[in-house]
Amino acid sequence: MTEQVTATEKARSLIRDLKKTHGENLIFHQSGGCCDGSSPMLFVEGTLIIGDVDVKLGEIEGVPFYMNKKQYEYWKHTNLELDVVDGKGGMFSIEGPTGKRFHIRSSVRS
């Protein structure tokens, strides 16, 4: 599998910190626009069902990163970089209380 998602050191560091609080079994899902907009969201495994409608784009710090297949059709020609910015995170994503939020930057593959 080709890794389609990478991460900055700031994102990797926040993931490591969140693992200390929430445990090792976490999953990312790129939100498709409902509720929290189009945001990468981090969940404790089991609190979000991943199924046949999701595509795994890679792993960051051992955390799998998924996106809905329909959304992937629009994003499949891009590389995604996970970063962290200041601000309130998504209301469902576990980084919310940290004052930081995950952010995706995309670039078209060449």
Higher-pLDDT residue of 26 and 3 is 26
Which tokens is 38 given? Answer: 């189009």
Which range (5-9, 22-26, 49-53, 74-78) has the least confidence? Answer: 74-78
**Pair type for strands 100-108 and 78-86:** antiparallel
Query: Could you tell me if 101 and 90 are in contact, meaning their C-beta atoms sit under 8 angstroms apart?
Result: yes
Q: What is the pLDDT of residues 35-85, one digit of tens each?
A: 545 789 999 999 999 999 999 999 999 999 999 999 899 888 998 999 999
Q: Write down the mean pLDDT value for the chain.
A: 89
Q: What Cα–Cα distance (Å) separates residue 26 from each residue in 6, 70, 109? A: 16, 23, 28
**Per-domain residue ranges for the chain?**
5-108
pTM of the predicted protein model: 0.89
Phi, psi (rounded to 5 degrees) for 75: -105, 0
Which tokens is 58 given? Answer: 């890679």
Fold of the 5-108 domain: Hypothetical Protein Aq_1857; Chain: A; (2.60.300)
